[in-house]
Structure 1
Amino acid sequence: MAENLPSVAVALFVKNEFSDIAGWLAWHAALGVKTFLIYDDHSSDGTWEILQAAAKIYDIRLKRTDPIGQPDFYQRQRDSFMAAAAESRHQFDWIGFLDGDEYVYLRHFDNLPEFLRGFKHADAIAFSWRIQGSSNRVVRPKMTTVEAFTQHSNKSLNDNVLVKSFVRPEKMGIEYINPHWFDVATERYVRPSGRYVQNANAVQEIEWSHAFIMHYICRSMEHYIQRIKRRLNVDLSDSVGYWDHFNRNDETDLEPLKLLFRMDRYLAPIYEQMITSAILRLKSAIVMDDRGQTGASAAMSADENIVPSSFRIRSYFNTYLYYAPGTGQVVHADESYAIEQGFEEVLGCINPVTPKLITLFAPGNIDTFIKFSADPRLMKTIIFEVRSQSDDRIALLSPMQNLYLALLPPESGVGIAEANRHQANEWEYLTLEAVNVSGPETYASPPPFVPGRETTVSDIINWIRHASVLPSNNEFLRVLYSVTPSVRAEISRLVPGLLWNALA
């Protein structure tokens, strides 16, 4: 019988990480972390709401700190980590203590339980930082942190001598030392290589050979500015000195990207739940439009007999769209090649209520989450705008980036499908071929208006509030993609963070 793997929890003290927290959770869940003990330091940007949504999917035990009772930032962090350690005793074999910009990476193992099984001689493991740079990004990217920031410092940056720790909670003493180093017997404190620590503090020889913590201190310039605002006069100042010191892009490492496909399997359900949670929150929202009235859009009667039309999507190269299970990406391929490789066909569905939008989906597989290269969306269904071209052909425009879907020339029967073109030319030309296949869902809550430029925030709120059944995620997004950017922005403001993965 195989030896039982150790159980692993992670404690997180976090504030205002709305754009990255879902990816952080998915990354560590993909590494085998089953339970997250999360202490939110009263985030105001949607982080708390995203965590609440994710807690419906995974074992996330959420608490909020007490900034009034304990005004000192570091003492709140201390109290959070010590409370997490106490809760973990007799529940988990190991607990790690991380921040929202810190990601564990294992060089030779697929998951943390398997890695930690090899540390019977240890009660604590000190992982070196590897400080990542900005990869020259200014604007906060829509893609996940690990995807976006692949460049890092080398060992000449001395700050990499700091470590973060995973410990056996039963072996922790009652003294809090700091968020890097914990009260565990020094003779039982080791490095990821298995050798014992050199001394009893958080400064250790840099060791990246077996495992380390990817520390995304800077990320984009937009991230950096938020960080300065959040911690101004606590431990940071109004200066670019911090950025200049840590923004090191000495080397590029693409090795961690091998985990992205597995991470996506954990991330996609969070993204779907975020949209569902946004709909639920909007149901109780109170808002008036800028004219002080509701029902401004053209009215229509809800027609239960509305029948969407489904299509195969043929490329300029006479290939079709497919989902490739091995990569999690949508590609285009010859039919014979797709059958040989076990690809799942991706179809499009157009609903008469929103005739300028097409929903792409993998029919018959409700658990398939699809993704296009260069498009940050990761969902069961992905919506594009339909733009008519010459000779009855169309092009598909991503409403996230306002970029066209391009199907690159196939090689050996398969080609890349990526949403990154500013103009539609031959590689972007597509043809819709009608098929008798049911759409990806039932349409139980069609809006009582024609969504478009005249649709107001109040129209959308009242639709959700009075619907006998809450709109599906797809119905909701089709309406949002049909209205003006200002209405989308106001809806997003009402549900902070929750629509980050779906709206530009």
Structure 2
Amino acid sequence: MSARRPRLTCALLLKKADHTLAGWLAWHLALGVEHIVVIDSGAFDNGRQTIQAYQADWPVSWIAAELDDTLSAEERRLNLTRLALTSLRHITQELDQSTSHRPDEDAVEDWIAILDADEYLSPNYDLRSLFQHTKDNTTAIALHWRIYGTAGHLMPPPGHIINNYVWHAPPEFHDHHFVRLLARLDHLPEANALTNPFLFDLPLETIIRSDGQAYQPHDDSTLAAPWKGGAIQHYICAQAHDETELPAAMRAHYDRNEQITTPERDKVQLMRQLANHMRESALRAGLSRLRDLVQQQLEKQRAAWLLHDSDLTLEDHVRHETFLYDRIRPSLEDVLTLNPQFSAHYEPGRTVLLRSTEGQLLECDPPEHHRPFAGFWQESTPHLLTLYTQDATPFTLGDAPCPFGMVSLHITYDPVKQTVLLPHETGHGSTVLEMIPAAVPPPMLFTPLPPANEEDGLSVRGLLMWLAGHPTVQPQDLQRALLLLSPSSTQHLRTVAPILEEFLPHFTKKPAFLP
């Protein structure tokens, strides 16, 4: 292994915006990837909004790749890889400049990876351990695919893909011959000279596997133990949305669920903690985005109100022999106070503890910390529960978003038994929990929630009207209000504010690949 510290930067080739994007970023940043550039070849506005919301606080960036529709799949891959290589070279130069004034900074050796959105780098130990067998003449490390099936899920469940899909094909599955490379940047050709987007035109004899053995592409004996040191976890079935992306015959081929590999708890816990910090950035950015939309909506309504007001034939000042009046023109804000979302009124809530039928209080992760949750619940919104800890420290609860030391959940409530079921992503979805009254005060005075204005929930227009009437709304309040959205409004908001994807309610629907 080189005396220089390996520094890994990564390019993500993104074809469409997906609910897994934030989780992909959190997983790889938690591993220690020092910068991720998203090469966007299809999501465009949604991808740009998401990444730009993160890049103020996190080492991620976004580049649009507009390709000719007539290009073949091979030509597209080559063009995207060339763009990724150019971008990663620029990123490493910027990293060098940002650390050049720090004499205590270790000398680095730059490595890169170029991955698809359904591919996750997964070292067996930590990121640095992948480089322990490299020598001066090593140009790349080959990591084999480990192909994961659907794990019985007919549709993607909420939560992180790493935790939801743990069943995969056995080692000898032929497609595990395919590899992705961690490549030394200074050994790669110039981007415009690159001809092989998979092996980067590197001599095969200079490529090793993660266990230090020579990489031999067509040697079936390597499939006896292809994942020594690490793997590229490939979730092709979980990520393909319909038959245009994965025809039925290919889905049957890749839907392999013979063996199980559960992720290491320490890696998952670190990813969840970092993901929650990223979610704080996402909530702040989403709230800012919605406030911009609020201003646009108010300006339109103000113009419409002024036009309506000017159409009235009443004069402003009238004096008559028997009466007189001065016309008072109400402002738009005066009129909007009659709107139930704009003037949402506060309803009292209850503080509760959650207890299993065995008498165990619900605690945050990891359970050995023994920090029980308290909850804030209101009868007017019985399907909504906000949990927090008494010491107000950050926590995790499965894959549920827990920013700002708080988590708001869409629960199933039984009013007769006074019990609740938490959603799947908390890791407690099958546990019946009793609500026990408690004397623990809420950590903050929550802003009153907007009432529903559609048959099946809150509309985006109603949400924006609520924000207009409550200018001091905190990100935690927004997280609670988003769970009130109707299915159609959830889809609408997913388009106008994709950065809020992780906070939107999850409505099940039949997957596109089913008849």
Give, in whole Å, the separation in 2 of the partners of 1:85 and 1:300: 47
- Residues 279 and 429 of structure 1: CA distance in aligned 2, closer, same or farther (over 3 Å): same
* Residue 298 (str. 1) matches residue 316 (str. 2): no
- 2:372 maps to a residue whose letter is E
Establish whether residue 24 from structure 1 lines up as the match of residue 40 from structure 2. no
Correspondence for 2:418 among 387, 394, 398? 394
The change in CA–CA distance for 1:247 and 1:355 in structure 2 (over 3 A counts) is closer
Deviations 1:394-422 (A, max 9, x none): 22354x67x9x9xxxxxxxxxxx82236x
- Is the contact between residue 278 and residue 499 of structure 1 (CA under 8 Å) also seen in structure 2? no
Using a 3 Å threshold, how does the CA distance of structure 1 residues 342 and 23 change in structure 2: closer, same or farther? closer
Once the two structures are TM-superposed, the CA of residue 224 in structure 1 deviates from its matched residue by 2.5
1:163 equivalent in alignment to 2:179 = yes
1:79 matched residue in structure 2: 82
> Structure 1 residues 28, 295: CA separation in 2 closer, same or farther (over 3 Å shift)?
same
Residue 464 of structure 2, aligned match among 461, 465, 472: 461
Q: Residue 323 of structure 1 aligns to which amino acid in structure 2?
A: C
Provide, for residues 436-494 of structure 1, a one-character-per-residue CA deviation record: whole Å limited to 9, x for no partner. Answer: x3x23354x556x545668543232133245433x223312333334544444443443
Q: Tell whether 2:443 aligns with 1:440.
A: yes
Q: Residues 245-282 of structure 1: CA distance to partner in whole angstroms, max 9, x if unpaired?
A: 22222322225566322221122223343333332222
TM-score normalised by the chain length of structure 1: 0.75
- Give the Å deviation of 1:139: 0.9
Which of residues 396, 405, 427 is equivalent to 1:370? 396
Relative to structure 1, the CA distance from residue 20 to residue 198 in structure 2 (aligned partners, 3 Å threshold; closer, same or farther) is same
CA distance in 1 between counterparts of 2:92 and 2:409 reads 46
1:112 aligns with: 127
- Equivalent positions of 1:8-407 (< 5 A) are 8-43=8-43, 46-67=46-67, 73-87=76-90, 91=96, 93-107=110-124, 109=125, 111-121=126-136, 122-174=138-190, 175-198=193-216, 205-206=222-223, 207-219=226-238, 223-226=239-242, 228-229=243-244, 239-256=247-264, 259-285=267-293, 297-298=339-340, 310-324=351-365, 326=366, 342-350=369-377, 357-366=384-393, 368-371=394-397, 376-379=400-403, 380-383=406-409, 387=413, 389-390=415-416, 394-398=418-422
CA, structure 1 residues 103+197, in 2 after alignment: closer, same or farther (shift >3 Å)?
Answer: same
SS of the equivalent of 2:443 reads coil
The answer to whether the 8 A contact 1:275-1:498 is kept is yes
2:379 and 2:258 map into 1 onto residues whose CA distance is: 53
1:184, distance to aligned residue in structure 2 (A): 3.3
Cα displacement (A) at 1:38:
1.9
**Distance in 2 between the 1:186 and 1:114 partners?**
22
Three-state SS of the structure 2 residue aligned to 1:358 is: strand
Indicate the SS of the match to 1:167: strand
For the residues of structure 2 that align with 1:317 and 1:302, how far apart are their CA atoms? 39
Aligned residues: 443
User: Partner residue of 1:414?
Assistant: none
Q: TM-score, normalised by structure 2?
A: 0.73
Separation in 1, partners of 2:81, 2:452: 50
Structure 1 residues 203 and 102, CA, compared in 2 at 3 Å: closer, same or farther?
Answer: farther
**CA distance in structure 1 between the partners assigned to 2:169 and 2:486 by the alignment:** 43
Q: C-alpha separation between the residues in 2 aligned to 1:208 and 1:128? A: 7
Q: 1:321 to 1:127 in 2, by over 3 A?
A: closer
Contact 1:369 1:381 in 2 (8 A): no
Asked if structure 2 preserves the Cα contact closer than 8 Å seen for 1:163 and 1:203, the reply is no
2:479 counterpart of 1:477:
yes
Q: 1:215 to 1:356 in 2, by over 3 A?
A: closer
For the aligned residue pairs, the C-alpha RMSD in angstroms reads 3.9
User: 1:15–1:369: structure 2 CA closer, same or farther, 3 Å change rule?
Assistant: farther
Superposed CA deviations along residues 89-132 of structure 1, whole A, max 9, x for unmatched, are 5546211121111112222x2x2124324423422111122222
Q: Matched residue of 2:364: which SS?
A: strand
1:174-208 Cα shifts (integer Å, max 9, x gaps): 33133321133444321111123347x99994422
In 1, the alpha carbon distance for the partners of 2:142 and 2:84 equals 16
Report the Cα distance in structure 1 between the residues aligned to 2:341 and 2:10, rounded to whole angstroms.
51
Where in structure 2 are there 5+ consecutive unaligned residues? 97-108, 306-335, 507-515
Q: What letter matches 2:461 in structure 1?
A: S
Stretches of 4+ aligned residues off by more than 6 angstroms: 201-204, 292-296, 305-308
Amino acid at match of 2:429: A
How far is the alpha carbon of 1:55 from its aligned partner?
A: 2.5
Q: Tell me the distance in 1 between the aligned counterparts of 2:292 and 2:26.
A: 29
Relative to structure 1, the CA distance from residue 68 to residue 204 in structure 2 (aligned partners, 3 Å threshold; closer, same or farther) is: farther
Counterpart CA distance in 2 for 1:157 and 1:356 is 45
**Match for 1:181: what amino acid?**
L
For the residues of structure 2 that align with 1:89 and 1:386, how far apart are their CA atoms? 48
Q: Which moved more, 1:203-212 or 1:152-161?
A: 203-212
What is the one-letter code of the residue matched to 1:359?
Answer: T
User: Structure 1 residues 125, 370: closer, same or farther in 2, change over 3 A?
Assistant: closer
Question: Higher helix fraction: Structure 1 or Structure 2?
Answer: 2
Amino acid at match of 1:105: S
Change (3 A) 1:503 1:384: closer
For 2:48 and 2:221, locate their aligned partners in 1 and report how far apart those are by CA, in whole Å: 34
CA distance in 2 between counterparts of 1:260 and 1:87 reads: 31
Structure 1 unaligned blocks of 5 or more: 231-235, 328-340, 406-416, 422-426
In 1, distance between residues paired with 2:260 and 2:468?
49
Sort the Cα spacing of 1:460 and 1:48 in 2 relative to 1 into closer, same or farther, 3 A. Answer: same
Listed one character per residue, the Cα deviations across residues 314-344 of structure 1 (whole Å, up to 9, x for unaligned) are 55544433324x35xxxxxxxxxxxxx5422
Identity %: 20
Q: How big is the shift at 1:41? A: 1.2
> In the alignment, which residue of structure 2 is the partner of 1:410?
none
Equivalents in 2 of 1:196, 1:125: separation in Å? 9
The amino acid that maps onto 1:358 is L
